[in-house]
Amino acid sequence: MATQKQIVERDSVVVKFAGDSGDGMQLTGTLFSDTAALAGNDIATFPDYPAEIRAPHNTIAGVSGFQVHIGKETRIIGDQCDILVAMNPASLLANLKWVKSGGVILVDGDAFDDPALKKACCTTNPLEDGSLSSYRVVSPPITTMAKETASALGMDTKSAARTKNMFCLGIIYYIFNFELEAPFKLLDKRFAKKLDLALVNKQVMQKGFDFAETMEIFQTTYQISTVNLPKGKYRNITGNIATAWGLLAAAEKSGHNLFLGSYPITPATDILCELARYKSLSAKVFQAEDEIAGICSAIGASYAGAMACTTTSGPGLSLKAEALGLAVIMELPLVVVDVQRGGPSTGLPTKSEQSDLNIALYGRNGEAPCIVIAASSPGDCFYQAFNAAKLAMESMTPCIVLTDGYIGQGSELFKIPRMSDMPAINPPVVKANDPDYHPYARDPETLARKWAIPGTEGLRHRIGGLEKTDVFGNVSTDPINHEKMVYYRKEKVNRLADKLPEQEVFGHPEGDLLVVSWGGTRGQVCVATKEVRESGKKVAHAHFTNIMPLPKNTAEIFSKYKKILVCELNNGQFANYLRTQHPQFKYLQYNKVQGLPFTVQELVNQINNVL
């Protein structure tokens, strides 16, 4: 007897796809999130993959995941998932702790044979030993059914078995009452050059969908509330792609073509690869022989008139330190993007952390201030990359943009801006034969020196790493002159605070507790403080994007709260920086250094403890 299908409305749902690193989980997750976005949901995604390209088959080390949060408003990827799709025992075990009690677990029943269980170090079969009793587990023979469908269409056995991810996706689409038309179009696009492959994948997906429908394996399906965002044109974007596009936008706006000098490093490589695709925008992209050549070539290009940048992650920033000091003393514009990962040394290459703040602020010999800003979400990377270029070019100072592996590789819905709405960028370029030009003559207001592009008539000059005389720029070891130049380089950065927007506060303008965060943790901290506020407590949230210099009203804001709690994914680098900048306040800390983002729950607990 057919049971009545029940459709439940939900504001948001978190789905995680997990499998072996060759199982195509990233593709599956991307297809799912794109489909949800097309269906009118807000989305946030995060890939979670091992450092090894193909770690041993069926082991926990080789588990690759992709988490998708869909719904009305999804600022974060979600602490725990409502639905886990696990392609083998290892991926089930690795992710079980992230599944909500009562959540749905869809596994490939074919994958739970003895060898696979042994590889995942299971002594008993979790599908049979009762350990999953608090979840709703569905374990159809997915590989068998996918293989049958694909083989019938003429695909070889090995390839046919690999379509199992599409079968799962078909089942998931059924659970969310999604039409298959949208994912079919996405598949046609993705396999535009291999239409037979697109056809097989579509058929298998349809089979999965039909299977879920006819077998009635789910009594409950979901209808997800559509997004509640301002009207406009949207796309899905990862932080790394947004960073690349923000740099291109700054180049276009400033009229100085982009030059990127970069060396591949996880998790920043995507920026290099993305920029390499758009030579049609006259971007010159140079894959250097090492990190040092990456920044040095960018410094050379900057001298020659480029909107120059270099992109890297923690270990690369260490290598670039000396050259960054050169850019500081030569007062050339330069954007350095650091997609932070767990450190020190090679650390946790594929995991996220906020532990490069100290090196960004202080990691150079001598008094060598750089501008430091941090992006707070995937889409925000576009704006912060753009801002970094604007600040660097207009003040003739290097600017470090901190993003991280979590927002760099994660994605969210991004409202497409119009270039005509982006602010102008006006670097102080000096005109040919200017009789008043001197290499270190400064704008009295901004203290920026002028940019004299080599090749221009009447402006021949030399700059370099040796200290130079004020105004004229000759080599000098004069003690008073050195102190003056040190002052100018610092004061130039300080004065930017006059132009920066004031620091915003979300929640009560005064109260018991101000929760402070910076960089990629905005989503979680915002949701957590909101939750605590809704329980009636006087809590507010200040999220910092501008770090060096800090916004001018920072102390004023801090003075309005009884307590300040600084939350960050390191041992307290921002808290310590605040202690040096505004020592009159007491800063409580909440730190996590696990290579993982905060969960909303742990933040809520911590905030309540402090109150």
Stretches 143-151, 410-418, 534-542, 556-564: which one binds another protein (CB under 8 A)?
410-418
**Which residues inside 316-345 make contact with another protein, applying CB under 8 A?**
322-323, 326, 330
From the list 337, 261, 333, the residue with the least C-alpha distance to 294 is 261
Judged on CB neighbours under 10 Å (0-12, 13-18, 19+), 215 is exposed
Per CB under 8 A, which region of 4-12, 110-118, 253-261, 344-352 contacts another protein? 253-261
Report the alpha-carbon distance of residue 74 to residue 523 in Å, rounded: 9
Nearest alpha carbon to residue 88 among 35, 149, 24: 24
Options 7-15, 37-45, 150-158, 171-179: segment touching another protein (CB under 8 A): 37-45
Contact between 348 and another protein (CB under 8 A)? no
Classify residue 110 by its DSSP letter: G
CB of 254 to another protein, least distance (A): 12
Stretch that binds another protein, among 284-292, 505-513, 514-522, 602-610 (CB under 8 A): 284-292
Write out the two tokens for 494: 């300080």
Number of Cβ atoms within 10 Å of the Cβ of 154 = 9
Regarding beta strands 12-20 and 63-71, do their DSSP bridges make them parallel or antiparallel, or are they unpaired? antiparallel
H-helix or E-strand containing 434? Answer: none
Binding status of residue 419 toward another protein by CB under 8 A: yes
Contact between residue 36 and residue 396 where contact means Cβ atoms under 8 Å apart: no
Contacting range for another protein; rule: CB under 8 A; set: 164-172, 248-256, 483-491, 592-600: 248-256
Of 142 and 249, the one with the shorter C-beta distance to another protein is: 249
541 vs 529: CA distance, rounded Å: 7
- Say whether residue 471 binds another protein (CB under 8 A): no
Token pair of 589, please? Answer: 């800390």
Angstrom distance (rounded) from CA 557 to CA 36: 39
User: Per CB under 8 A, does 388 bind another protein?
Assistant: no
Q: Is 259 in the site for another protein (CB under 8 A)?
A: yes
Nearest approach, Cβ of residue 64 and another protein (Å): 23
223 C-beta neighbours (distance < 10 Å), count:
11
Residues 6+ apart with CB under 8 A from 74: 12, 41, 42, 43, 44, 412
Residues 64-103 interacting with another protein (rule: CB under 8 A): none
- Between 293 and 391, CB nearer to another protein: 293
Residue from 83, 137, 171, 293 binding another protein (CB under 8 A): 293
Where in 184-223 is the site for another protein (CB under 8 A)? 186, 189
Q: What does the block give as tokens for 596?
A: 């993982």
Q: Does 437 bind another protein (CB under 8 A)?
A: no
User: Shortest Cβ distance from residue 18 to another protein (Å)?
Assistant: 25
Q: How far apart are CA 320 and CA 338, in angstroms?
A: 11
Of the candidate residues 475, 491, 504, 562, the single one contacting another protein (CB under 8 A): 475
Contact with another protein (CB under 8 A): which of 134, 426, 474, 601?
A: 474
Query: 482 vs 9, 60, 576, CA distance in Å?
Result: 67, 57, 28
Residues that bind another protein (CB under 8 A): 34, 37-38, 40, 186, 189, 227, 229-236, 245, 248-249, 252, 257, 259, 261, 278-282, 284, 286, 288-290, 292-293, 296-306, 308, 322-323, 326, 330, 416-419, 453-466, 474-475
